[in-house]
């Protein structure tokens, strides 16, 4: 007896039929021979590969005090294929885009995690724990999803790790980070995030990866690292898809 097709396979096949996959960089239809796991046409893929390779060459691998910053690529000034991928991740929520960046980041993350000075001998470690700084409720309502949460889940899947929502936003009204200057951002971030209940229990002696799509000043990620370390995390990796230059004011 033949098994019925899996719903997930069916729905993605149906979706491809109704909306043939397009390149997120240039919006052209993807050629049929392109790999199922990519989101780019060959030309945009080459631009992405260049951006990622440049960032990797530039990255410091030092794991000072068990804290690692991992950036997949740095955004330039021009609007290229990599910038459009970030736009898709932020506002469209296409699962392909999250799986694509997670698969690219996973080997780099595992390499970085292996350099953590406090890692126990091989085999005795628990899987990496993946979490994220939640968006403001109004932004989640506007876009219909939280891109940092989706990224953390995709990363956990790509790295055989565990996903856990460890960080919460405080309920008080806070200004959107992008409207503030550097000092205001730091103060705003410090008072905007707290640990979830039971987070301390979950992170004790674990290596935690905080995932976010975009890092501008790093204050949000630093605040997350601070909270997790104070709760007993053994080490923290801050993992973002893109790093932007600080906005000039």
Would you tell me which residues interact with Zn ion (CB under 5 A)?
A: 23, 25-26, 41, 44
Q: Using CA atoms, how far apart are residues 213 and 87, in angstroms rounded to an integer?
A: 10
Supply the minimum distance, in Å, between the C-beta of residue 48 and Zn ion. Answer: 9
Supply the minimum distance, in Å, between the C-beta of residue 240 and Zn ion. Answer: 23
CA atoms within 13 A on the CB side of 46: 2
When the beta carbons of 81 and 203 are compared against Zn ion, the nearer one is: 81
Supply the minimum distance, in Å, between the C-beta of residue 79 and Zn ion. Answer: 13
When the beta carbons of 30 and 241 are compared against Zn ion, the nearer one is: 30
When the beta carbons of 41 and 189 are compared against Zn ion, the nearer one is: 41
Residues 6+ apart with CB under 8 A from 22: 28, 29, 30
When the beta carbons of 42 and 95 are compared against Zn ion, the nearer one is: 42
Cβ-count burial of 119 within 10 angstroms (0-12 exposed, 13-18 middle, 19+ buried)? middle
What token pair was written down for 21?
């996959």
Supply the minimum distance, in Å, between the C-beta of residue 47 and Zn ion. Answer: 8
When the beta carbons of 52 and 231 are compared against Zn ion, the nearer one is: 52
Q: Using CA atoms, how far apart are residues 82 and 54, in angstroms rounded to an integer?
A: 13
When the beta carbons of 26 and 214 are compared against Zn ion, the nearer one is: 26
Contact at 8 Å (CB) between 89 and 151?
A: yes
R_g over Cα of the chain: 19
Cβ neighbours around 22 below 10 Å, total: 14
Supply the minimum distance, in Å, between the C-beta of residue 81 and Zn ion. Answer: 6
Supply the minimum distance, in Å, between the C-beta of residue 12 and Zn ion. Answer: 20
Distances from the Cα of 87 to the Cαs of 14, 73, 81, 134, 204, in angstroms? 25, 14, 10, 18, 35
Supply the minimum distance, in Å, between the C-beta of residue 243 and Zn ion. Answer: 23
Total length of the chain? 249
When the beta carbons of 25 and 134 are compared against Zn ion, the nearer one is: 25
The three-state secondary structure class of 220 is helix
């Amino acid at each position: 007896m033949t098994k019925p097709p899996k719903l997930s396979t069916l729905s993605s096949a149906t979706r491809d039929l109704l909306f043939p996959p397009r390149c997120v960089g240039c919006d052209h239809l993807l050629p049929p021979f392109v790999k199922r796991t990519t989101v780019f046409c060959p030309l945009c893929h080459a631009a992405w590969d260049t951006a990622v390779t440049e960032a990797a060459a530039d990255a410091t691998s030092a794991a000072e005090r068990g804290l690692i910053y991992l950036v997949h690529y740095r955004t330039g000034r021009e609007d290229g294929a990599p910038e459009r991928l970030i736009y898709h991740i932020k506002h469209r929520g296409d699962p392909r885009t999250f799986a694509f960046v997670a698969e690219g980041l996973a080997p780099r993350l595992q390499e970085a995690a292996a350099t953590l000075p406090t890692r126990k001998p091989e085999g005795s470690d628990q899987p990496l724990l993946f979490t994220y700084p939640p968006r403001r409720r109004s932004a989640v309502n506007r876009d219909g999803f939280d891109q940092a949460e989706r990224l953390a889940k995709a990363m956990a899947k790509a790295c055989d790790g565990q996903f856990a929502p460890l960080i919460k936003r405080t309920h008080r009204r806070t200004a959107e980070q992008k409207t503030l200057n550097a000092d205001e951002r730091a103060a705003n971030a410090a008072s905007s995030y707290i640990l979830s209940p039971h987070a301390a229990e979950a992170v004790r002696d674990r290596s935690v990866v905080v995932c976010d799509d975009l890092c501008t000043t790093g204050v949000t990620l630093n605040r997350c690292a601070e909270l997790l370390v104070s709760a007993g995390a053994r080490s923290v990796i801050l993992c973002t898809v893109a790093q932007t230059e600080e906005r000039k004011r």
